[in-house]
């Protein structure tokens, strides 16, 4: 047979999914014509489908030496480069494809995938929407759009986008998982579990461990700890070296009161590569090791990045949180703007801003979580916002603020001396520091301890001693119920300190 006939047969086999037969025929074409563009290009596509992206890159690049004007080959080269983790090179390839064919919906979708891997989420979202403008019934673009919307904390929009994908492909496992993730973030846990269960029926075995783990997280948040533990153990049977599933399993065991099993699971998770600082923090809460001076920064950032999209609703609506109002009630009454400059320390999504804005000519905020700060920016109530560790950010600041407020922030810091010293220096003479702490029920040698919820509690005498060491006086101290946890009141204290 001549090369053209062989190529037609190879393409037909390729379209039927008969990859090995198609691959052999492409080889025969190339034996007759080593520079046949389609045979080189499609051989590369098959190598990627077979799990060899390096060989795919080599073959597709050879095809582009034959004809560099083929947008589809540049697009497929970008996909293979992304498989190799070469995201910047992948982006260059897919953008070359789009310069050649700006109406190439698949290339826009692939550009979105590459930008998402690079962390450029708004640009990624724009690429998916360009793909959908060209091809409205494009389930992959709808699904990938849902994934990036979840990453951006827009979980309601993510759920709607996943449902668009599922309208076109009802058994689309990735879209079902994205829907489950969105519903979980919206506290719709039962529906999230249903979505994960549906995803498990059609997902490839390699993906099922991740879905079982996400299902466990939804069940744990719903309070169904036994079923959550079962889900994590399903994930680990599929992937025994799955560090996240082992870490989450340890959390579930701890919540079930199975201390020794939890300790063993945390240690196993650390061996598998889970965050050692976070593991040590959890072990310290179980009495294994001395408590650290503060919660690990990555742990705090990850915690609040995860909850940014529904933090306010959960904290206020579910946990009965009202610490901002309690702290502001302690401030002195006076003129409409008694403070020239106010700092919201650990500002989060900006829950304190509506209360502080009327009291401040200038309102600043600082927080470790960029996703929380994105929500704070949406309030349009802050004059300035910074993403930083609060203790490091305060270093070197002198006499800048009249009021510093920290609502539900010191629960992530055990040793308060360094923070208090820096707040004192950052306050102007006569400035005030208002904050909340959880109450340590039993005195400890250090004056603070980690609670079962991975938060620090402090002894009243310790707080007063740190204030005195920093040169501040206790203007007022109150006992208060800060929020609910598992239906029980969380006892805390409110302090108002003053710099002389």
Q: So what's the pLDDT on residue 292?
A: 78
Q: So what's the pLDDT on residue 36?
A: 96
Q: So what's the pLDDT on residue 453?
A: 77
For the segment 133-179, what is each residue's pLDDT rounded down to a tens digit? Answer: 999 999 999 999 999 999 988 999 999 999 999 999 999 999 999 99
For the segment 364-419, what is each residue's pLDDT rounded down to a tens digit? Answer: 999 998 888 988 999 999 999 999 999 999 998 999 999 999 999 999 999 999 99
Q: So what's the pLDDT on residue 71?
A: 97
The b/e string for 57-80 (b: 16+ C-beta within 10 A; e otherwise) is bebbebbbebeeebbbbbbbbbbb
Q: So what's the pLDDT on residue 487?
A: 65
Q: So what's the pLDDT on residue 307?
A: 61
Say if pTM beats, i.e. exceeds, 0.85: no
Q: So what's the pLDDT on residue 311?
A: 52
Domain ranges within the chain, ordered by starting residue: 301-498
Q: So what's the pLDDT on residue 318?
A: 44
**What percent of the chain is predicted at pLDDT more than 70?**
94
Q: Distance between CA 352 and CA 376 in Å, rounded?
A: 10
DSSP, residue by residue, 125-192: HHHHHHHHHH-SS-HHHHHHHHHHHHHTT-HHHHHHHHHHHHHH-TT-HHHHHHHHHHHHHTT-HHHH
Query: What's the mean pLDDT in 82-89?
Result: 95
Quote the mean pLDDT of the chain: 92
Answer whether residue 482 shows pLDDT above 90: no
Q: Distance between CA 217 and CA 245 in Å, rounded?
A: 9
Task: Please state, as a whole number, how many other Cβ atoms lie within 10 Å of the Cβ of residue 275.
Answer: 18
Q: Distance between CA 495 and CA 467 in Å, rounded?
A: 10
Report in angstroms the alpha-carbon separations of 367 from 197, 301, 307, 386, 387: 36, 9, 14, 7, 5
Residue 317 — very low, low, confident or very high, per pLDDT cuts 50/70/90?
very low
Q: So what's the pLDDT on residue 425?
A: 97
> Could you confirm whether domain 301-498 is CATH 3.40.50.10540?
no
Query: What's the mean pLDDT in 78-96?
Result: 96
Q: So what's the pLDDT on residue 153?
A: 83
Q: So what's the pLDDT on residue 486?
A: 61
Query: What's the mean pLDDT in 342-362?
Result: 93
């Amino acid at each position: 047979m001549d090369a053209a006939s062989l190529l037609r047969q190879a393409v037909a086999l390729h379209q039927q999914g008969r990859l090995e037969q198609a691959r052999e025929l492409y080889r025969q074409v190339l034996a007759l014509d080593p520079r046949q563009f389609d045979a080189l290009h499609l051989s590369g596509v098959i190598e990627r489908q077979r799990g060899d992206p390096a060989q795919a890159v080599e073959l597709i690049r050879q095809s582009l030496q034959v004809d560099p004007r083929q947008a589809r080959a540049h697009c497929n080269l970008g996909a293979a480069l992304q498989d190799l983790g070469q995201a910047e090179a992948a982006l260059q390839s897919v953008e070359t494809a789009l310069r050649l064919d700006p109406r190439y919906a698949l290339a826009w979708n692939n550009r979105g995938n590459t930008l998402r891997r690079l962390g450029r989420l708004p640009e990624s979202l724009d690429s998916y929407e360009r793909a959908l403008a060209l091809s409205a019934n494009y389930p992959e673009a709808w699904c990938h759009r849902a994934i990036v919307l979840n990453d951006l904390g827009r979980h309601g929009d993510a759920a709607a986008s996943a449902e668009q994908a599922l309208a076109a492909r009802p058994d689309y496992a990735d879209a079902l998982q994205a829907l489950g993730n969105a519903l979980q973030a919206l506290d719709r846990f039962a529906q999230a579990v249903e979505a994960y269960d549906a995803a498990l029926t059609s997902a490839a075995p390699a993906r099922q461990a991740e879905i079982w783990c996400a299902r466990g997280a939804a069940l744990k948040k719903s309070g169904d700890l036994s079923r959550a533990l079962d889900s994590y153990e399903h994930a680990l049977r599929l992937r025994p070296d799955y560090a996240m599933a082992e870490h989450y399993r340890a959390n579930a065991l701890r919540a079930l009161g199975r201390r020794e099993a939890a300790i063993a699971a945390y240690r196993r998770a650390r061996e598998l590569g889970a965050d050692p600082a976070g593991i040590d923090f959890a072990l310290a809460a179980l009495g294994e090791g001395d408590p650290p001076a503060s919660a690990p920064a990555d742990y705090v950032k990850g915690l609040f990045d995860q909850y940014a999209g529904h933090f306010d609703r959960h904290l206020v609506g579910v946990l009965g949180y009202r610490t901002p109002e309690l702290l502001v009630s302690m401030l002195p009454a006076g003129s409409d703007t008694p403070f020239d400059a106010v700092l919201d320390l650990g500002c989060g999504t900006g829950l304190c801003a509506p209360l502080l804005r009327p009291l401040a000519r200038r309102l600043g905020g600082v927080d470790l979580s960029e996703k929380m700060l994105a929500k704070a920016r949406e309030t349009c109530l802050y004059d300035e916002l910074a993403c930083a560790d609060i203790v490091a950010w305060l270093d070197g600041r002198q006499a800048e603020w009249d009021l510093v407020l920290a609502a539900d922030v010191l629960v992530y810091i055990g040793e308060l001396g360094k923070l208090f010293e820096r707040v004192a220096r950052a306050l102007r003479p006569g400035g005030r520091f208002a904050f909340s702490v959880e109450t340590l029920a039993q005195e400890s040698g250090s004056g603070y301890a980690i609670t079962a919820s991975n938060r620090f509690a402090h002894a009243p005498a310790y707080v007063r001693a740190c204030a005195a060491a920093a040169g501040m006086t206790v203007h007022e101290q109150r006992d208060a119920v800060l929020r609910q946890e598992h239906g029980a009141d969380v006892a805390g204290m409110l302090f108002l300190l003053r710099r002389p």
